[in-house]
Amino acid sequence: MDRLSVELCGIRLDNPVIPASGTFGYGYEFAAYYDINCLGTFSFKGTTREPRFGNPTPRIAEAEGGMLNSVGLQNPGVDAVIREELPKLRACFRKPVMANVSGFSVEEFAEVCEKLDAEPQVGWLEVNVSCPNVHGGGMSFGTDPKAAAQVTQAVKRVTKKPVLVKLSPNVTDIVRIAKACEDAGADGISLINTLLAMRIDLKKRKPILANVTGGFSGPAVFPVALRMVWQVSSAVRIPVVGLGGVHTAEQVIEMMLAGATAVEVGAANLVDPWVCRTIIRDLPGVMDQYGIHTLSEIIGGAK
C-alpha cells in the first residue's frame, strides 16, 4: 500500500481517496457495505452549531451528467455529532477523520471548529465556505476573499489541527480567494464544491427544487474541477484536495497530475456505494498501465 500513500498536512493517508462530505454520512452507514478502513479518510456530513432540518422538499433533481441537490446542510448540530455520531464512527473507523464545518457567521465557524478540534479522532477540519444551498451563510463567505480570510483566521485562532478551506466554483477568480485563505493561515484548500444550477418541471412550469436552485455535481463537472485544481495548486504553496465529478481511478490520477495531493469522491457514492473501494482496488493496475511507481511522485506532474 506504500505505493498509494500520500501525506496531507502532515498526516499520512494509506491512499488519496476520500469520500466527500454530504455523500458518506458519518461513515458507519457505509460500513454496513464494506470495511471503510480501506479509505484514506472521509469527510463527514457538514456540521453547524445548531441542528438543521434542511431545505423543504423536493431537494434532489436529476440532470444529464449529474444531479442537483438542495439539502441545505441537514445535520443534528455539533453537540449531537460529538455526543452521538462520533462514538458510532469510532466503532467502525480507526483512522483520523475529516470534519466538515459550515456556519452562518464567522463566530459560528470558529465555535464549531473549536469543539471538533478537541475530538481525538478528528484529523483535519474542512471549513466549508462554499455551500450554495443555504441562505445567509455558506457560499457568501466563499465568494469574497476578505470574508473567506476572516473565517480562516477565526478558525485558526481556536484550533491546532490542520484547516482546509473548501471553496466554491461559483466565482470569477478562485485563485484570488485561495491565496487569501493561504495568507490567512489555511493549511490546505479543498475544491470544488457544487456549481449553482436549476431545473424546471415542464408540466408544472415551475422549478423542480423547492429552493429553486441547487448544487450541480457528478461526472459533467469534472473538467471544471480539474481546471480549478490546476489553477489553485499552481498559485499556492499549501496542499490542494481535488473533488468534483470523480468516479474512476484514472480521474484520481488525473486530479493528482493537475496538482491535488488527495482526491475526494462525492456524488458517485450516491450512485454506487462501493465506488471508493473500487477506485482504491483499481489504482495499482492503472498506475502500472501508465508507468507510475508511487502516487506521491506524480502530484503536480502535468505542469
Residues noted as catalytic: 131
Can you spell out the DSSP letters for 203-243?
A: TTTEESSTTS-EEEESGGGHHHHHHHHHHHHHH-SS-EEEE
Look up residue 195 and give its three cell numbers. Answer: 456549481
DSSP label at 81? I
218: left (phi over 0), alpha (psi -120 to 50) or beta: left
Can you spell out the DSSP letters for 2-67?
A: TTT-EEETTEEESSSEEEPTTSSTTSHHHHTTS-GGGSS--BPPPB-SS-B--SPSP-EEEETTEE
C-alpha gyration radius of the chain? 18
